[in-house]
Structure 1
């Protein structure tokens, strides 16, 4: 690989890392990050939220519940029941690169030396759930039932919308 390719690769790596340095906002799925949902039956939905590597697990899970509450209210219902839910962690390892520049000892042109650095984990989370939505008062004896208005009100202060 020539020096121009090496420098280009380093710049691309820096841009890529800086692009993922903020948490995923609460948004419809965009570039692989955000929420998605699918209506399965008249009162049953599959929802998910995918965060980037800067988005903590609890944020991903909160955004999933917030989306469930929004979807429940948008469908004209009052509460939802988590039929099943899970959170998956995707951990990859990234190798840091050390680059040094200077002038070659016997050469009259700039030189670049590249060596590998440390390896470090990068983890991103995706939460998914199947929910059923219902009208009326939430059953008090079902711990998987959530009042959509309460969930929305309690999680609203934690929700970060995209800046556009």
Structure 2
């Protein structure tokens, strides 16, 4: 909670306090600019444990869906609830655009298939802190279907799976700001906030094979073409350069 230190008690509320410090790994300078675009020149992006933080204009927060987003000020007076809902919609779009896309494994995650035997593969999928676990599951199954079709097979069987989700914990530095109004100086201090970033991951061990027309597929076998046709259109792809 912000602490207000003053030489005398103010007769009215002045300005907006800094609501936190951005997690440098989560936001770029362009994203931080979204915070000042709302007309709140002292606000910064904030990472809040288990929630999206929206500034209430008083240095506090209203909590919602898990994640990390820029913190926007909600002006005092009427219309605050409507603007908060609008910011929630914009935040959801922002988060969707930040998740790890279906791509080759890289620094921000992705998916890769590694052969174990001639017909057995290990599929590894990783996401960043903005990626939903179900998206990582889709990536694993889609890659298994692609490998099956690329090797001239029709079905794959999941021999085993492992949850490889990781978590990053940390705490941002506290912030302090002093404003002078006339002969009075007001100092507002906000302690750092703890953040918890969940990065979903999954490993699958799959066996691929070809089922001829009229043959019965093995128990639990996935038809690769159907998996590809259903999952392929809904995964997030990298933006074309």
What TM-score results when the alignment is normalised by the length of structure 1?
Answer: 0.76
2:207 aligns to what? 132
Counterparts in 2 of 1:147 and 1:18: CA distance versus 1, 3 Å: same
Please give the secondary structure, in 2, of the residue aligned with 1:48.
Answer: strand
Q: Which segments of 5 or more consecutive residues in structure 1 lack a partner in the other structure? A: 1-9, 105-111
1:146 aligns to what? 222
* Aligned-residue offset at 1:62: 0.9
Residue 76 (structure 2) pairs with residue 67 (structure 1)? no
Q: Which segments of 5 or more consecutive residues in structure 2 lack a partner in the other structure? A: 1-20, 29-67, 69-94, 181-186
Please give the secondary structure, in 1, of the residue aligned with 2:226.
Answer: helix
Determine if contact 1:97/1:115 at 8 Å carries over to the other structure: no
Max Rg structure? 2
Q: Distance in 2 between matches of 1:141 and 1:45?
A: 17
* Aligned-residue offset at 1:119: 1.6
2:31 aligns to what? none
What TM-score results when the alignment is normalised by the length of structure 2?
Answer: 0.53
Q: Distance in 2 between matches of 1:25 and 1:130?
A: 22
1:79 aligns to what? 155
Q: Distance in 2 between matches of 1:32 and 1:159?
A: 16
By relative contact order (CA 8 Å, sep 6+), the higher-ranking structure is: 1
Structure with bigger helix share is 1
- Alpha-carbon RMSD: 2.6
1:90 aligns to what? 166
Q: Deviations over 1:130-158 (max 9, x none)?
A: 11110115845612x10000001111222
Q: Deviations over 1:34-68 (max 9, x none)?
A: 01121111111111000001101111011100000
**Within 5 A, what are the aligned runs for 1:91-130?**
91-102=167-178, 116-130=191-205
Determine if contact 2:113/2:144 at 8 Å carries over to the other structure: no
Q: Distance in 2 between matches of 1:161 and 1:136?
A: 30
Structure with bigger strand share is 1
Number of aligned positions between the proteins: 145
Please give the secondary structure, in 2, of the residue aligned with 1:127.
Answer: strand
